[in-house]
Structure 1
């Protein structure tokens, strides 16, 4: 189902004096046809403005574009059955997820040919051994990953990993690398899986993936902790700036607060800003802090 957004300039005048000017503003629309008056009303509601005397909208154009979660605009609802969106990268022998970390190696323990001597005629199995660092593919970090004595994978409550309300922030056209706190101000993130769609997953498993990737700014980490987010996920190399000299404020702040971190997500562009349900559950592995997950969302 196509989604539309209005692109426009505007001047908002207030009945008690003063004005507000915007340039190249963008707002979600419920449909592909609208008027300048309707866009003006949506702008006032989206910004929560009071005592407005008049809104003058100019340079209005309507384009087919993914919704970003404008307030007071109903999101497109699916008319079909719920669909499952896979948000995980495929793991394979030799995959490099994070430059400098080893790739998984798959070796046979019991081949199908060898298994024939162990089972009844016509019955055969393959059993393989995987040597793999936990930071492979799409993975989840528990507090143990960052803090000695922190909760390990086995200690995570399933209720904090399964069927979470997802708030998706589509920032793939951002002009800065660090996603700031202000991006999250317009929505309730308490208890939610906050998923940051940067579009960087298009470079996954290529040399371009490792440099210049988007990350969570320090003030965004502080805000999400204060607001009580349950999980934070991103579709880029790291929630932290890996080019900052070793500092990891996002990992440190989020994991200290018991907020799960999921990195190297993909396909977030297929999710609406709100309304999806998110799951990312690792195995209950004692004494381990990071492991791949099959992350997915239910939409509709």
Structure 2
């Protein structure tokens, strides 16, 4: 039997964000009593919570989120287990040796670290496992389609360099995933559909996995 697992952090008023990002505001705009219906005003950045990055995030000439190849965002994804690594660990190509047979051109990979459990603590935003520039280059050479992380970013210090390597290679970067520990299989059908925000750099997503789906690529 197929099973759907939500992999998304909640959005709520004053939910914490990266230090330099816009604050999150979820406010009541109309209510049943005031206007006979409920409507809420949502103010968040394109990179709040569980979201994805488009190349335009770091390149003015890069592909915008409404122009992404959605086949990179939806399809079979490999779950790679890194729950044994410590905070602030710099992931290197050598760490991926056990998984190299599962990674190739067009691959979608999800890195399970269980770091989402630190949310909404301050250290969630600063102390998580990191994608080293060396690993980013290795993944770019592999020509993967997408990488998904349970951290809010790729690297707290070398974030510009790592982003430019990955996004420059047209790799979709999904950040802020959660609940990968609930997955029972090593591969799933993964969905990370962005909002169609015209001409912009990223989008919040409702990430989910489907296990035991009869047919997927």
Asked if TM exceeds 0.5, the reply is yes
Deviation string, structure 1 residues 147-196 (Cα, Å, up to 9, x no partner): 1021111111222212x221111111124711111233332322121111
**What residue is the counterpart of 1:168 in the other structure?**
79
Asked if 1:93 is matched to 2:28, the reply is no
Partner of 2:129: 214
Residue from 286, 292, 298 that aligns with 2:198:
286
1:228 aligns with 2:130: no
Q: Which has the larger radius of gyration?
A: 1
Match of 1:187 among 92, 98, 101: 101
Contact preservation (8 Å) 1:170, 1:269 = no
- Identify unmatched segments of 5+ residues in structure 2: 213-217
Q: 1:17 maps to which residue?
A: none
| TM-score for the superposition, normalised by structure 2 | 0.88
Q: Given that residues 165 and 191 in structure 1 are in contact (C-alpha distance below 8 angstroms), is that contact kept between their aligned partners in structure 2?
A: no
Cα pair distance change 1:247/1:237, threshold 3 Å: closer
Q: Following TM superposition, by how much is the alpha carbon of 1:273 offset from its aligned partner in structure 2, in angstroms?
A: 6.1
1:196 equivalent in structure 2: 111
| Residues 273, 215 of structure 1: alpha-carbon distance in 2 compared, 3 angstrom cutoff | farther
What SS does the aligned partner of 1:276 have?
strand
Q: Could you give the per-residue CA deviations for residues 251-278 of structure 1, whole angstroms, max 9, x where no partner exists?
A: 1111111110011111112235632111
Contact 2:7 2:206 in 1 (8 A): yes
Instruction: Tell me which residue corresponds to 1:15.
Output: none
* C-alpha distance in 1 between matches for 2:186 and 2:26: 39
2:215 is aligned to none
Q: What is the distance in 2 between the residues matched to 1:218 and 1:203? A: 24
**Which structure 2 residues correspond to residues 1-300 of structure 1 after superposition, within 5 A?**
81-115=1-35, 124-162=36-74, 164-175=75-86, 177-185=89-97, 186-189=100-103, 190-240=105-155, 242=156, 244=157, 247-272=159-184, 274-300=186-212
The 8 Å contact of residues 79 and 111 in structure 2, kept in 1 or not, is answered as yes
Equivalent residue, structure 2, for 1:121: none
Whole-angstrom CA distance in 1 between matches of 2:147 and 2:24: 25
The DSSP-based 3-state class of the residue aligned with 1:187 is helix
Q: In the alignment, which residue of structure 2 is the partner of 1:7?
A: none
Q: Secondary structure at the match of 1:291?
A: strand
The structure where helix makes up a greater share of residues is 2
Shift >6 Å, 4+ stretches: none
Higher strand share: 1
Aligned pairs, how many? 208
